[in-house]
Each structure stands twice: as structure tokens, then as C-alpha cells.
Amino acid sequence: MRVILAFLLMLALMSASFASENTSVTDSSLHKLSPLKIGVYSVAVASVVSYSVIKFYSVWDTTHIGFHFKKDDINGDGLLMLDEIAHLFGGYTFVRAGAGLSRWAGLSEKTGILAGTGISFFVMTFMEYPLDAYKPNEGVSISDLAFDYAGTAIGVLRETVPALHNFDIKVGFEDISRVPPEFLPRSTPEHGVFVYWLTYSPAPKSFPLNIGLGYSVRHDEQRQPHPEWYLGVGTSLTELSKRFFGKYADDFEYLGIVEIALTAKIVE
């Protein structure tokens, strides 16, 4: 654990150094750099990564055996790919958070995307190694890693390709009263509380509503999984804020990861 915390401290120092090297950036679309914002940026990066690592350890780090790969990788967890989609969502969200925070700090688009990619790559890889690699009921999952890095790649594309800016990947809740503490599922049925959404906003700056396709899994009394698909019309806090704060809300768009929607279940 000490080695990991030392690495995180090094990551924070590298982040601050990396940010300071970009003080010569002159892009009228970016905010003016300030020492305060650079300091907040560096502390935020270190804090988010540190909190994620420590929390993952406290929730999921249990008994240990030797290093091994996960058996029956995709079909053995009774989640019908929901866990892989959660990994994709995680990789995607870390990229977008890192890039958005970098924009707020006034760094270049390239620096922001590199920072977000690095954060995503580190945190999502850490979940497989060393966290799952030595757990008897888990192990390194090739499918999880593939979806981790797919989410990172999709996050980069979302940041760099204008045609994708109206699309987003979000999370909602099938029953908010059953959401597990700290939003981290401890058991197979708890995964089914989460609904993952692919959304499209036709006019996000003037009309703060989106349409979306959602996916989740329900477990019956015998704990057998059943896929659930949803159609929805919804919004998020950042979509609402764009209506009133315009471009100032763009830097914090990643905070709108929770989909608030009216839904219709189309498959169960």
C-alpha cells in the first residue's frame, strides 16, 4: 500500500510539473492560466486518484492467493456483460474528468486529453492489477481490461471528434433506494441497480433534454440473470446548467454522469 501511495504522490508532482510546462500556451478558447488553478488542478488529480485507489482497496481487497487470470471471464459472473459495461463507463469517465478539469485550469486541449488518458489508464489498470490479480474469486480479467481501455479510447474520441460531442455515456439507477454505499456494488445483485445509458442530446445548449438507450440486468429469486433494456428521455445537472451558464458549464460537463430520466422498459 505504501508503494501505491508513493506512486500517487509522484503522480501529483508530475502533474504539477507537467502543468507548469504549459504556461506558454496561448489559445483564446482556453481560460487564462493562474497559479491558483494549477494548484487546484494538481491537488484534484492526486485526490481523485488517491481516493479511488484507497476506496477500491477498502471495498474489494479481501483474501489473497497467487497471481492468476480470471476463469470463465465473460460468462462466469452472472452479469450478462453489465460488469464489462461498467468498466467501459469508468475508463470513459476518468478521461472526460481529467480533460475537463485541465480545460478549467487553462491547459491546452492536448495536455488535458493526455492527462485524462493517463488517469484513466492508471486507475482502470489498477483495478485488475494488483487489486483483482490476487483475489481467489477474481483474477486479472482480459475482458475487463479490454473494456477499460475501450472506455478510455471512446473518451478520447468524445473529446476530440466534434461529431460525437452530443453523445454521452451515463449511469442511472433502477431503484435509487437500493443504491449501494459509495456507489460500489459488493454483490452480484447490487450490480443490477445500475442502468448504463448511451444518450444523444439534439441541442444541448438550448434544449437540455436527451434521448437514450439503457441497459441493466435483473436477477430472479434463483439469482438467474435477465437482461433489461430501456428507452428514456432525460437530462443531467450539466445539461441543465448549459441552458443558463453556456460555455462556462462545458469545462464541468463530466460532472453530469448521472442520467435523470423518464424511462420505458422495452426488454426484460
pLDDT tens digit string along 42-54? 888 788 778 777 7
Confidence band (pLDDT; 50, 70, 90) for 24? Answer: very low
What is the average pLDDT across 70-81? Answer: 77
Confidence band (pLDDT; 50, 70, 90) for 29? Answer: very low
Residue from 153, 27, 203, 181 nearest 102 by CA:
27
Looking at the predicted structure, is the pLDDT value of residue 8 above 60?
no
Kindly report the number of other CB atoms within 10 A of residue 57's CB atom. Answer: 14
Question: Tell me, what's the pLDDT at 169?
Answer: 96
Q: Indicate the DSSP class of residue 183.
A: G
Question: Tell me, what's the pLDDT at 61?
Answer: 61
Residue from 139, 99, 105 nearest 120 by CA:
99
51-55, 94-98, 124-128, 145-149, range with greatest mean pLDDT: 145-149
What tens digit of pLDDT does each residue of 150-159 get? Answer: 999 999 999 9
CA distance 210 to 113: 25
Question: Tell me, what's the pLDDT at 32?
Answer: 58
Strand order in the sheet with 167-173: 167-173, 194-200, 210-219, 225-235, 260-267
What tens digit of pLDDT does each residue of 168-208 get? Answer: 999 999 888 888 877 888 788 888 999 999 999 998 777 88
Task: Judge residue 31's burial from the number of C-beta atoms within 10 Å of its C-beta, 0-12 exposed, 13-18 middle, 19 or more buried.
Answer: middle
Percent of the chain at pLDDT exceeding 70: 80
71 vs 28: which has the higher pLDDT: 71
Question: Tell me, what's the pLDDT at 62?
Answer: 63
| Kind plus residue range of the DSSP H or E element containing 194 | strand 194-200
Kindly report the number of other CB atoms within 10 A of residue 135's CB atom. Answer: 18
Looking at the predicted structure, is the pLDDT value of residue 217 above 70?
yes
Q: What is the mean pLDDT of the chain?
A: 81
Cα 181 to Cα 49, 59, 84, 120, 125: the distances in Å are 19, 10, 21, 23, 23
